[in-house]
A = this chain, B = another copy of it.
Amino acid sequence: MIQVSEALTIVAENSSKMPTQKIPVNKALGYVLAKTVHAPIAMPPFRQSAMDGYAFTHSRRHQYDVVGISQAGDHSNTKLEFNEAVRIFTGAFVPDDADTVVMQEHVMANEQSILITNMPEQFANVRGKGEQIQKGDVVFEANTLITPAAVGFLACLGITAITVYKKPKVAFLVTGNELVESGKKLPKGKIFESNSIMLQAALQTIGIKKTKVYTVKDKLKATKKALKEILPQYDIVLISGGISVGDYDFVKEALLANEVVELFYKINQKPGKPMFFGKRKETLVFALPGNPASSLTNFYVYVYPAIRNKMGFSEIHLPKLIRKLNADIPNTTGKTLFLKALYDETHVEVLGGQSSAMLNSFAIANSLLIVPNDAEMLKKEELVTLLPIG
């Protein structure tokens, strides 16, 4: 049995980056750039007015004749004498003969001329060509996450496609004779299968929209056959159930028979101890605990960083937050605990109902509090570490 830190290292070291693909910028939200992007044009592409006002050549003069107009979208490069100005609007082309824009609030105007009542400094209110970025300059380095603002910046430079790391294809294999599809009639002794629906939702929160679900009964032959079909098609295979120490657990046997190399099995933690992590070529296999809360915990702690690594993120783990504990938390287990918790700006409170089968507290938690395996007691007001979730 290995420690959480070792398990995290093994997951990170074994999740290689996905191949790259070129995709449209308007579909690129949440992807990570695989290639550095350079600007195909300068931005702004021409000298632009930053205000509604009048463009003129700066001098000691306060009165100017208005000899033209420059609206946004125009390119009327009006010739200007030293005593002439053009009416101009925000974003519009500044004629080559002008170097300054005075905002309309700072002039008195009639149809033909203006009197500047509050003289701006030379070059005021003119955005230089390429002030934001010059043609050929780096827009974003490789490994940049595409945010809404990044989408906007790429689009304003006229870039319509970029090269990103693909998202992994994820399959979900459900095993368990005790499981019945949610909403059907529930025979005695059975429970509703909920892990596949729950983990599909968790995958959606990190941008994996479609997950194929396969179901097999707890039979070695059926499980072997399903894995043989699934493994070559997917980048990540999540398996739920059948991986605890019971006599009827044979998922591990089916995995090994399908050339999945075991990288670890069981982690010194609670909940979530009985997890298998393995690999077949570049496909990662997580056989998650069957208990819902254990399964979701291990999703956040292990599957999440593996997916982020595959997608090219430079920071793969959930960000760690530090908060003050609002009550003593003993740890007599010698295991790392992941406790469902609620944090605010300063403190964190551990929720009731921490059983590995219970989702009640998970549903209202906003974080997992980490209690290290070698900490026998976390004291009230002590600074502790948590992983924000949801």
Which of A59-67, A256-264, A353-361 participates in binding chain B? Answer: A353-361
A108 contacts B by Cβ under 8 Å: no
A272 contacts B by Cβ under 8 Å: no
Closest chain B residue, CB of each to CB of A145: B390
Interface centre among A184, A191, A195, A296, by most B CB within 10 Å?
A191
A90 near B158: Cβ-Cβ < 8 Å: no
Across the interface, A44 reaches (CB within 8 A) one of B74, B140, B357, namely B357
B93 near A188: Cβ-Cβ < 8 Å: yes
A148 contacts B by Cβ under 8 Å: yes
A156 near B177: Cβ-Cβ < 8 Å: no
- A363 to B151 Cα, complex, angstroms: 8
Q: How many protomers of this protein does the assembly include?
A: 2
- A201 to B191 Cα, complex, angstroms: 39
A189 near B46: Cβ-Cβ < 8 Å: yes
Closest chain B residue, CB of each to CB of A353: B132
Shortest beta-carbon distance from A107 to chain B in Å: 13
Shortest beta-carbon distance from A44 to chain B in Å: 7
A29-B201 contact in complex given A50-B357, A73-B178, A244-B90, C-beta closer than 8 Å? yes
Across the interface, A189 reaches (CB within 8 A) one of B93, B133, B186, namely B93
Residues on A lying within 8 angstroms of B by beta carbon are: 25-26, 29, 41, 44-46, 48, 50, 52, 71-75, 87, 89-93, 104, 127, 131-133, 140, 144, 147-160, 176-179, 182-184, 186-195, 197-202, 204-205, 218, 244-248, 290-293, 296, 320-322, 345, 353, 355, 357-360, 362-365, 390
Q: List 15 A-B contacts (CB under 8 A).
A: A26-B201, A46-B188, A50-B357, A52-B246, A52-B247, A72-B177, A132-B360, A147-B363, A148-B199, A149-B365, A150-B363, A152-B194, A152-B201, A158-B182, A158-B186
Known: A73-B218, A147-B201, A159-B182. 19 other contacts (CB 8 A): A46-B188, A72-B178, A73-B190, A74-B189, A75-B190, A87-B247, A132-B357, A132-B359, A140-B363, A149-B296, A149-B363, A150-B363, A151-B198, A152-B201, A156-B191, A156-B359, A158-B184, A158-B186, A159-B183
